[in-house]
Amino acid sequence: MASIQGNQALSAFAELVAECLACDSREGFAGSLIAGLRKLTPIEDATVLHYGNSDLPTIVYREVPAAGGADTLERFLQGPFLLDPYYQAATKMQRFGLFRLDELAPGRFRDSEYYRSWYRSCGYSDECGYLIDLGGGAFLNIALGRLGRRRFSDRQTDLLRSIAPAIAGLCRQHWVPARESGAGLRGQLHSALDDFGTSLLTDREKQVINLVLHGHSTRSVAERLGISVETVKLHRKHAYAKLEVSSQAELFYLFLDSLMSAGDYAGGDTLISYLRPAQA
């Protein structure tokens, strides 16, 4: 479906607002919102995630994966979401609105293991996403995907961006931030990511590995840390040797496996218990 323009777009947007205002449940609202957005621009897959003040994200709306396709969303919500450019934008940079993936991701992100493991598994070739600030540290991520080799056009993303304030206002009618105490599970996962490798690596090696996990290329890491490309390669080589991995893919899965096996995480480097289990 091509982008719509003029009176047709205005009519579709008015219908979207009317349908959303008539909903009395979050699930019904999310479904109506996605259906309305589909009338404005071609969307082939959509997910709505709610990030509370401190807990793990929850699925508000999802679409059934294609038959035979691998559904990785549940696994994504257990920890890999920490590396997601949209999550990083909302939590680290406090950026809200409509963004294309390429606006938020580091250089050469599409060559990263995170991109290969997550986006290739879910079939996305392009993504636009609304980040909606709900206050108190809570936010929504409304992920809109295209599949195959199709991508959103500038005209389509401009249209979605133009209605972002209205979309945010509609969403806030259904979500009020809950009062949560303590760091919560999400805070614990942040600590696990920040401390990953500290028991084995130098501070600089840990910085390099953390940026690699987030999808940064060698050149991007060098620019972020203010060091040469050759120095980055040297730190990465030493870190890989200490972690006993030989590629970005092995590093990515080492982080995920150590995180998933942490159990009742109480702080510190998850590799301590993962690589050096206590002797019986």
Which domain CATH number covers 233? 1.10.10.10
- The dihedral through the CA atoms of 253, 224, 158, 168 has a sign that is positive
* Residue 76 to residue 89: CA distance in whole angstroms: 17
Residue 140, domain member (yes or no): yes
Strand partners, 126: 146
Res. 68: pLDDT tops 50: no
On whether both 167 and 196 belong to a single domain, the answer is no
Q: Which domain holds residue 119?
A: 9-172
Position 196 confidence tier, pLDDT thresholds 50, 70, 90 = very high
Boundary-marking domain end, from 172, 193, 225: 172
Give me the pLDDT at residue 70, please.
47
Shared-domain flag, residues 80 and 163? yes
Same structural domain, 207 and 112? no
Burial class (CB in 10 A: 0-12, 13-18, 19+), 5: exposed
What span, in angstroms and rounded, lies between the C-alpha atoms of 280 and 274? 15
Q: How many CA atoms lie within 13 A of 231 on its CB side?
A: 12
Distance of CA 139 to the CA centre of its chain: 12
Residue 65 confidence (pLDDT): 59
Is 139 domain-assigned? yes
* pLDDT tens digits, 129-187: 999 999 888 999 999 999 888 899 999 999 999 999 999 999 999 887 666 544 567 87
* Residue 40: its H or E element: helix 26-40
- In a shared domain, residues 57 and 96: yes
Domain boundary residue, one of 139, 172, 205: 172
Integer CA distances (angstroms), 56 to 48, 146, 184, in order: 14, 26, 8
Residues 147 and 188 in one domain: no
With respect to residue 19, please indicate whether it lies within any of the assigned structural domains: yes
CA 269 vs. chain centroid, Å, equals: 23
Phi, psi (rounded to 5 degrees) for 162: -65, -25
In this structure, the answer to whether residues 239 and 266 fall within a common structural domain is yes
> Domain end: 172, 202, 226, which one?
172
Nearest Cα to 130, choosing from 141, 121, 138?
141
Residues 166 and 91 placed together within one structural domain of the fold:
yes
CA distance 89 to 129: 11
Average pLDDT, the chain: 86
Please give the structure tokens belonging to residue 3.
Answer: 């982008």
Q: What's residue 260's pLDDT?
A: 78
Within a domain: 254:
yes
The average pLDDT across 214-235 equals 94
Say whether both 16 and 146 belong to one domain.
Answer: yes
pLDDT level of residue 258 (50, 70, 90 thresholds):
confident
pLDDT of 201 reads 96
Q: Model confidence at 22, in pLDDT bands (50, 70, 90)?
A: very high
Q: Is residue 77 part of a domain?
A: yes
Give a yes or no: residue 264 inside a domain.
yes
- In the numeric block, the tokens 């990030």 are attached to 51
Same domain? 153 vs 124: yes
CATH (domain of 151): 3.30.450.80
Same domain, 260 and 123: no
140 and 17 in one domain?
A: yes
Residues 217 and 148 in one domain: no
Residue 58 lies in a domain: yes
Asked if 59 and 163 touch (Cβ cutoff 8 Å), the reply is no
* pTM, rounded to two decimals: 0.84
Q: What is the dihedral of CA 226, 227, 233, 236, to 10 degrees?
A: -60
How many domains does the structure of the chain reveal? 2
Q: Residue 178 domain-assigned?
A: no
